Amino acid sequence: MPEFRTIDTGRAKLRAAVEGEGPLVVMVHGFPESWYSWRHQIGPVAAAGYQVAAIDVRGYGGSDKPKRVDAYSMQELTADVAGVVEALAPGQKTILIGHDWGAPIVWNTALTRPDVISAVAGLSVPYTGVPTRPFTEIFTELFTSKGHFFYQAWFQEVGPPEAEAEADVRDFLRKFYYGIAGEAPDGSWPQKKHGASMLEGMTDPEVFPAWMSAEDLDYYVGEFKRSGFFGPISRYRNHERDFEWLQAFKDRKIEQPSLLIGGDRDPAFNGFGRIPDPSALMRMHVTDLRGAHVLPGVGHWTQQERPAEVNALLLDWLKGL
């Protein structure tokens, strides 16, 4: 079992589940998850000869929860990751693995801090380079301006999204997790009009997919009942701030050995349409891509839905570094 540690990054104190000895591997989760989303990876990677630290991103679980929206900018979150590296492996370079929002966090940490990051793997979200415009402009153009609902537009206003999620945490998590799981039928993430709330029209299945046990869900529910949703949702409120910060790195590519793992039923992976060749897309911005794997039938929760396949890919990649 991992040992829980509180790590002072210099900007925030983060809880990390730490196990093993050897070169450091930092695992970074997405929304709405925690260190626990890596429960199937921590032991196998530690057993392969690494020290694993699966963190709670600030705003989640046992980590600090600032009350300002700008505290959840990409600049702050990448600084947290670099701070974990410097605290646990001073003077050494470290390997990063991230899923969902954790993927952009680790991609951008590798981009902006090549002095401390030796290799980087992203699950669910490919790296597509420094943005040429804020993502708010993109979803406004494609969805909001046409009267269509987009969940990140719903997340922009402070207050209503948190209230909806916190009114019944278990209901919110069940519907959110199921809506973009590989087993969910088409329509589980419904199309609706702008102005709708997140949960309107979403499905709570009678039987949840086997990869999320009742005990797993209980753990997540307990974490979010304690932490609330302001910090996790505020990550979505920093697109303009992230865009401005990253412009200083627009002429830089990720040069560390890299890996991508996605699922063919994951809307975050496919973006606004299926990616015919994710490796070609990535190689425009990453100079040492060592694999771009698309797992059939896998939805958004990559390493939880298919832990054995993901572990095999990660361990093979780690062995080759």
Residues with a catalytic annotation lie at 100, 300
Report the alpha-carbon distance of residue 143 to residue 155 in Å, rounded. 14
How many H-runs (helices) and E-runs (strands) does the chain carry? 14, 8
Report the alpha-carbon distance of residue 319 to residue 48 in Å, rounded. 9
Task: Give exposure, 49-71, as e/b (b: 16+ Cβ within 10 Å).
Answer: ebbbbbbbbbbbbbbbbbeebeb
Decide: 76 and 64 in contact? Cβ < 8 Å.
no
State both tokens at 188. Answer: 């589980």
CA 137 to centroid of chain Cα atoms = 21
Report the alpha-carbon distance of residue 264 to residue 296 in Å, rounded. 5
Beta bridge mates, 74? none
Question: Pick from 287, 296, 295: which is nearest to 119 by CA?
Answer: 287
Three-state SS at 164: helix
- The number of residues making up the chain comes to 321
Three-state SS at 271: coil
Decide: 229 and 198 in contact? Cβ < 8 Å.
no
Three-state SS at 310: helix
Q: What is the dihedral of CA 45, 47, 48, 50, to 10 degrees?
A: 70
